[in-house]
Amino acid sequence: MSDPAEDVVEELDSLGHLTGVEVEDDPDSAETGGSEDLIQTPFDPELIDVVTRNTTVDLLLSRVRTRRVDLQPDFQRQAGIWRAQAKSRLIESLLLRIPLPTFYAAEADDEVWAMVDGIQRLTTIVEFVEPEAIAVEPLRLRNLEYLGQEYNQATFADLPARLQTRLRETELIVHLIRRGTPEEVKFNIFARINTGGLPLSRQELRHALIPGEGRAILKEWADSEAFKSATGYGVRSDRMADREMILRFLAFRLTDPGSYTDDDFDLFLRTSMRALNKLPKVAIDELWEQFEKALHGAYEIFGDYAFRKVERKGGSRRLPINKALFEAVSVNLAMMTEDEIAVLIRRHRRVEKKFLDLMSDVDFQAAISQGTGDPAKVRFRFDAIREMLASAAA
């Protein structure tokens, strides 16, 4: 029988770099070519309200200035993908009157637009024309292709008045999904249209469409030394895989894995993110203490191989983080006492042997590799890890 670890594939970030996180081979996942973007339950087509807004750069800037457009300033791909030359070429296109692709946004109950497709383009425009609106340094043009050296290193203020006006009056097309459209349909629409370049990950969509305190919590925890050290500083944040891992931990601390019956794992995570938005600080602090305890315990027990599959044939290759293992191990350790974890740390060799035996179980391999959102597989992997830890401690 072949070793499943040989077939492990690692996720890529928006620049094609390895993220340190294993791709989930989920037949229902849109990210692996599956059907996760299909509607799971019937809906009323009359509730779908998508309108087209013909607006201008100036009007969008006004919305940004008054915080009526949510640019998600910590949106990783917005912050890191576009280099100065790419940004300059976008501004040059506007100056040359070359139309930009359509923008897509979702309207929240307070009429704020969450910009989902086109956020990099809009952020670049704001950075050049009105950088103070998002508290960044003005963008300077460089390496222009057609406008030559005349405007090299120019800011918006350096442009002639006619070009400034041309930029501000540039027309843009925004397809707006109005409030009242069912959430599952909203996510479905963005999954379908989000095909330019590298599609947004599910967590990037959740981040864009579910504003609230949860965003800041996931970012803070992902940036913590506890998380980074426990995962071997190996999880890149560009596609928000780190935040999804933390959300999955929180989801199964807010919902008992043994009672998990949801057929739509993405809906489960969205519901959990909204629940996170409503948690009082005392509950967040308690969850953080549990999370930190679990991360410390996992690293002390498993070392550099925490939350990763291991090869059965004695190989020493360190595989990428497995999300399903991360949630199952971290949640089980979070529910243990400090003394119980201390016993496992002392007996870490025994834990490692039993974990290696568990990795030889075909059903367990399936539970952490394929269709990981299936309720039966969720319950199986959580039970298996709990029993493995209990056996090692006995």
> What number is the average pLDDT over the span 115-126?
88
pLDDT at 383 over 80: yes
If pLDDT is split at 50, 70 and 90, which confidence band does 43 have? low
pLDDT at 265 over 90: yes
> What number is the average pLDDT over the span 263-279?
94
Terminal CA-CA length for the chain: 31
Sign of the four-CA dihedral 176, 179, 185, 191: positive
DSSP 202-261: HHHHHHHHS-SHHHHHHHHHHTSHHHHHHTTT----TTSHHHHHHHHHHHHHHS-GGG--
| Share above pLDDT 90 across residues of the chain, in percent, rounded to a whole number | 60
Question: 393: Cβ–Cβ under 8 A, 6 or more apart, which residues?
Answer: 340, 343, 344, 347
> What number is the average pLDDT over the span 176-203?
76
> What number is the average pLDDT over the span 105-122?
87
Mean pLDDT, the chain, rounded, equals 86
Lowest mean pLDDT among 276-280, 304-308, 313-317: 313-317
**41/32 Cα distance (integer angstroms):** 21
pLDDT at 91 over 60: yes
- 0.85 exceeded by pTM: no
**35/194 Cα distance (integer angstroms):** 15
Beta bridge partners of 55: 172
The predicted pLDDT at position 33 comes to 38
